[in-house]
Structure 1
């Protein structure tokens, strides 16, 4: 087993074996607050749905003309991507309070995405079929985000 040495002032100090640190790091990555094992963010249904919506929007916007992509397209892709990104970032935080804050930001990004989709539809950039495909996904994600936020609040209470 290899030990790690480092300088403290004028002396060399031995740390615990690297193997121990590797196991500790693995444990910290899979454990949430209070030793509760938390699944990777990719296993959360709310994250999977946010990612699905984001990808749907990406492939729609990708077909728009350059002016529309450069103006409205970038905005809608950023807001849609932000939903999943904030869920992921909050999930990686060490406190429930931080995680809750990022879920609230994700909720705001979802509302912004809805705004851009309404404008895109009004400007004939979205077909009825595309709108019909996205609408139920967005309606499913809103309550899932709220449920996820409520579960984090319960987890923080005890």
Structure 2
């Protein structure tokens, strides 16, 4: 079995980077923060890359587009949780300065990837 090609997509690599950065930050939080916002933001961030991968594996452009739209929704959910975490002093300015450029790059790349998916087998 060959390696899945989603791993080579720049949009997937950014989603994975965002999820891993969020994981590292959340693992430093106190229990109550981890158990509430932490679980939610990790699930949302992990879902971005997972949906890119799942859509890519469908070999059907309609399904792929549907999963990329779900990934975009997960990205917006991640942003929501990031805003709450910052408002509740769970993110430092330095951490936001790491995460914001990833989000700023991921968002247009996700939309561009969605727009690039055409009918046919790929």
User: If the length of structure 1 is used for normalisation, what is the TM-score?
Assistant: 0.73
- Matching residue of 1:93: 58
Secondary structure in 2 matching 1:156 = coil
Aligned mates of 1:147, 1:78 — CA distance in 2: 24
- Matching residue of 1:108: 73
- Select the structure that is richer in helix: 2
Which whole-Å deviations, capped at 9, do the CAs of 1:32-82 have from their partners, x for residues lacking one? Answer: xxxxxxx71110000000000000000000000011100110000000000
Runs of at least 5 residues in structure 1 that lack an aligned partner in the other structure? 1-25, 31-38
Aligned mates of 2:10, 2:28 — CA distance in 1: 28
| Superposed counterparts of 1:31-70, under 5 Å | 40-70=5-35
List, as ranges, runs of 4+ consecutive aligned residues in structure 1 with deviation greater than 3 Å: none
Aligned mates of 2:28, 2:39 — CA distance in 1: 13
Aligned mates of 1:105, 1:69 — CA distance in 2: 24
- Select the structure that is richer in strand: 1
How far residue 157 of structure 1 moved from its aligned partner, in angstroms, is 6.9
User: If the length of structure 2 is used for normalisation, what is the TM-score?
Assistant: 0.94
Q: Could you say what the CA RMSD is over the residues aligned between the two structures, in angstroms?
A: 1.6
Higher relative contact order (CA 8 A, sep 6+): 2
- Matching residue of 2:100: 135
How far residue 94 of structure 1 moved from its aligned partner, in angstroms, is 2.0
Tell me, yes or no, if structure 1 residue 156 matches structure 2 residue 116.
no
How far residue 97 of structure 1 moved from its aligned partner, in angstroms, is 0.4
Aligned mates of 1:58, 1:136 — CA distance in 2: 17
Q: How many residues are matched?
A: 121
